């Protein structure tokens, strides 16, 4: 059973369909069998029971007529002037009675020989035997009655004997008739019972088939809804992450309870989402690295000249609408001597150390840029030139007081200016550069306002 639940969806559906079709095949076979049985019983009712019932009615009428003729025989025996000829009518009635009984006997004999009687064949055989015995008794009674009529005069004792014999024959024929009526009635009830059972069982089987079909339908719909729902959830998560610009969460791979086509599709989708998440993460890392390469100086980690020009244009645009900012240009004093005396590697370390110490002492809104060589720039938003000069002086003193064991002492010079109306990037940068030039001309290791 566990293997069946873990089977593919196609095998599950095929298995349930086989069960449903097998059940329907059994229902059809049972219906065919029952219909044939009911058809045979209806044929028996039509070919045997209905004719016998009609014969029973005819026999009862003829029996009544026979009683009337016997009374006429008595009148004839006591009154010589009776004009009627009851012996002829009696003979005709007897012949008719025999004909009906013979016909009934022939029907029963043929039916028993051809095995057409399904209900109580032994009792039908018993009726056939009773009919044959009745024929013999009736023939004997008729012979005695004819002899008495030929003598011309019959005593009351003889008529009494004839009446007793006729009463016995009546009892026998009544017993046969009642027996036949009983069998035909029970056969009809038996057929009705089979029809009711057939309808009941067929209804039950039909309901079972409907329940199985309904279960199959709901089972398939439930499987599709659950699995496709999870797939849609994964797709919606990916779509939401892409719309919001968020990283795509790596999907969770739960322990599988079923192994079918939809489960495989769900797993493939999760693997695809996982790979997409990894690819996007890798792409974001690469983009971040490219952004760093495009905006950062490789040696020092400070922003590069391209970023400086971009930020400067943005600050000028803000300043034109009423904001204020200052810039500070700086470079390392006698940096060429450091390179010549200690080597370029030491010069690189000097630049790196300078960038590290300056960055620690700037505000979060301030930005440090390396414009090239040993020249740096600091962008100071929302600061007037006086505050910018104070900050530059603090930075200058800190660098001048550095004592690095593996680096020579070095100093820096500043040229500081602020934004003025009608300034552009070239004019403000030129003014700061002139102030830096003055600081170097005045002996270096100083801050000069421009």
Number of residues in the chain: 450
Picking from 424, 436, 356, 431, the residue whose alpha carbon sits closest to that of residue 392 is 436
Give me the DSSP letters along 219-254: HHHHHHHHHHHHHHHHHHHHHHHHHHTPPPPPPP-P
Picking from 318, 337, 312, 310, the residue whose alpha carbon sits closest to that of residue 409 is 337
87 within 8 A of 149, measured Cβ to Cβ: yes
Among 58, 374, 375, 404, which one carries the catalytic annotation? Answer: 374
First-last CA distance in the chain = 90
User: Measured at the alpha carbon of residue 232, what is the angle toward residues 229 and 234, in degrees to the nearest 5?
Assistant: 110
417 within 8 A of 326, measured Cβ to Cβ: yes
Picking from 88, 63, 86, 61, the residue whose alpha carbon sits closest to that of residue 76 is 86
What letter does residue 47 receive in the DSSP assignment? I
Q: Is 374 a catalytic residue?
A: yes
Q: Burial of 4 by CB count in 10 Å (0-12 exposed, 13-18 middle, 19+ buried)?
A: exposed
Phi, psi (deg, nearest 5) at residue 417: -150, 165
Give me the DSSP letters along 381-433: ET--HHHHHHHHHHHHHHHHT---TTS----EEEEEEE--TT--HHHHHHHHH
Q: Where are the beta strands (DSSP E) in 179-305?
A: none
User: Measured at the alpha carbon of residue 265, what is the angle toward residues 259 and 269, in degrees to the nearest 5?
Assistant: 130
Which residues are catalytic, by number? 374
């Amino acid at each position: 059973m566990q293997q069946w639940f873990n089977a593919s969806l196609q095998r599950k559906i095929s298995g349930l369909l086989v069960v449903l079709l097998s059940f329907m095949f059994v229902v059809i076979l049972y219906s065919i069998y029952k219909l044939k049985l009911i058809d045979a019983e209806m044929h028996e009712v039509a070919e045997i029971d209905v004719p016998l019932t009609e014969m029973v009615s005819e026999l009862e009428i003829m029996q009544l007529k026979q009683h009337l003729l016997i009374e006429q025989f008595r009148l004839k025996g006591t009154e010589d002037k009776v004009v009627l000829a009851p012996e002829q009518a009696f003979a005709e009635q007897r012949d008719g009675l025999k004909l009906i009984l013979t016909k009934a006997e022939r029907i029963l004999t043929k039916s028993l020989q051809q095995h057409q009687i399904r209900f109580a064949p032994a009792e039908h055989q018993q009726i056939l035997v009773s009919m044959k015995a009745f024929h013999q008794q009736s023939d004997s009674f008729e012979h005695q009655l004819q002899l008495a009529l030929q003598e011309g005069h019959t005593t009351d004792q003889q008529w009494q004997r004839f009446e007793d014999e006729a009463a016995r024959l009546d009892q026998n024929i009544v017993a046969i008739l009642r027996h036949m009526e009983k069998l035909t009635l029970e056969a009809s009830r038996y057929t009705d019972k089979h029809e009711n059972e057939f309808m009941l069982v067929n209804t039950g089987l039909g309901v079972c088939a409907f329940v199985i079909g309904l279960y199959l339908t709901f089972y398939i719909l439930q499987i599709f809804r659950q699995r496709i729902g999870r797939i849609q959830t994964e797709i919606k998560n990916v779509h939401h992450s892409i719309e919001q610009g968020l990283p795509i969460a790596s999907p969770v791979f739960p322990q599988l309870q079923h192994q079918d086509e939809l489960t495989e599709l769900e797993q493939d989708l999760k693997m695809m989402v996982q790979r997409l998440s990894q690819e996007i993460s890798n792409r974001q890392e690469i983009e971040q690295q490219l952004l760093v390469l495009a905006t950062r100086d490789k040696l020092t980690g400070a922003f590069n000249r391209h970023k400086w020009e971009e930020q400067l244009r943005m600050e000028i645009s803000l300043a034109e609408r009423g904001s204020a900012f200052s810039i500070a240009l700086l470079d390392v004093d006698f940096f060429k001597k450091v390179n010549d005396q200690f080597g370029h590697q030491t010069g690189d370390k000097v630049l790196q150390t300078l960038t590290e110490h300056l960055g620690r002492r700037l505000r979060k809104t301030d930005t440090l840029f390396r414009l090239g060589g040993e020249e740096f720039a600091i962008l100071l938003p929302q600061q007037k030139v006086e505050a910018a000069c104070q900050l530059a002086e603090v930075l200058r003193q800190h660098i001048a007081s550095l004592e690095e064991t593996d680096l020579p002492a070095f100093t820096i010079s500043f040229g500081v200016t602020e934004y003025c109306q009608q300034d552009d990037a070239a004019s403000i940068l030129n003014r700061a550069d002139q102030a830096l030039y003055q600081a170097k001309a005045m002996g270096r290791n100083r801050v000069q306002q421009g």
